[in-house]
């Protein structure tokens, strides 16, 4: 991955380019002449183990902003301390995200990323783009519901498709920020995904074995049918399985 870095039009600072690994972590910056300006090496949880160069750059582990004064990473919903591999504040959804309010990506930073401090996506933007607004609320509800339905409060929903525009037409529900793809690697069944999806505000969806995921949309279209009528949600846990409006 190569991204352009430019300092807001300041002619005295040259343009540099980002290089990143599979998690989106910035591993180096190069000049327009392809000379290495800065390099970074991290351990599994993002602690910087080695660096070269003096170029100032805020974006580092999983492409999150690093605060040099506090030595913390900004993950949108909260801050992360790579030296201990944990968030420094409680998960804003508390027990709905599991019993440990500070854990980072279920202690599995090799396979997961957490761009917002909440849902786990398989790749950083622009390959997988976190959904926002109504779709994000429905997705968070889906995770809460599946945790309840499976009696597994530690279930961290693994999402492989969000609001990507690259590779999709403008008619795509992914392009419109109205669809998500839920990986088959999640320990849930099709019935559970559809039951919780329908309860949480997704009205259309299907299983796509060739792509190894369940596809959910806020509304039907582009060949994606309405979700089948399902039984009412059972009550379980503290307050029961929550559904959408």
Where are the chain's structural domains?
Answer: 1-66, 118-245
Q: Is 118 helix (H, G, I), strand (E, B) or coil?
A: coil
Q: pLDDT for 122-142, tens place per residue?
A: 777 778 888 888 998 899 889
- Provide the token pair at 230: 């399902």
Q: pLDDT for 33-71, tens place per residue?
A: 888 999 999 999 999 999 999 888 999 998 889 999 999
At 215, which helix (H) or strand (E)?
A: strand 213-217
Residue 204 has pLDDT above 90, yes or no: yes
Point out which residues pair with 17 in neighbouring strands.
4, 30
CATH 3.30.1380: does it fit domain 118-245?
Answer: yes
Round to whole Å and give the CA distance between 143 and 187. 12
68 Cβ partners below 8 Å, 6+ apart? none
Contact of 26 with 18, CB cutoff 8 Å: yes
Q: Is 80 helix (H, G, I), strand (E, B) or coil?
A: strand
Q: Work out the number of other CB atoms within 10 angstroms of the CB of residue 217.
A: 24
pTM of the model: 0.56
Which backbone phi and psi does 117 adopt, to 5 degrees?
85, 15
Q: Work out the number of other CB atoms within 10 angstroms of the CB of residue 168.
A: 15
Round to whole Å and give the CA distance between 151 and 163. 29
Contact of 110 with 44, CB cutoff 8 Å: yes
Q: In what order do the strands lie in the sheet with 213-217?
A: 120-121, 158-161, 179-183, 213-217, 204-208
């Amino acid at each position: 991955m190569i991204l352009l870095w430019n300092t807001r039009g300041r002619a005295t600072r040259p343009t540099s380019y980002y290089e990143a690994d599979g998690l989106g972590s910035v591993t180096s910056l190069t000049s327009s002449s392809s000379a290495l300006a800065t390099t970074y090496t991290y351990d599994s949880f993002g602690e910087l183990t080695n660096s070269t160069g003096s170029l100032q750059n805020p974006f580092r582990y999983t492409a999150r902003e690093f605060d040099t004064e506090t030595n913390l990473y900004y993950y949108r919903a909260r801050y992360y301390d790579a030296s201990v591999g944990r968030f420094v504040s409680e998960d804003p959804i508390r027990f709905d995200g599991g019993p440990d309010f500070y854990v980072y990506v279920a202690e599995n930073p090799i396979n997961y990323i957490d761009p917002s401090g909440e849902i786990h996506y398989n790749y950083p933007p622009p390959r997988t783009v976190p959904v926002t607004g109504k779709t994000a609320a429905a997705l968070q509800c889906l995770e809460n519901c599946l945790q309840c339905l499976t009696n597994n409060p530690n279930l961290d929903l693994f999402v492989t498709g969000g609001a990507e525009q690259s590779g999709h037409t403008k008619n795509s529900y992914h392009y419109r920020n109205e669809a998500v793809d839920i990986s088959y690697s999640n320990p849930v069944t099709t019935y559970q995904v559809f039951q919780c999806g329908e309860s949480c505000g997704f009205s259309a969806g299907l299983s796509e074995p060739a792509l190894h995921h369940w596809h959910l949309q806020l509304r039907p279209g582009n060949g994606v049918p309405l979700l089948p009528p399902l039984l009412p949600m059972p009550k379980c846990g503290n307050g029961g399985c929550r559904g959408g409006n």
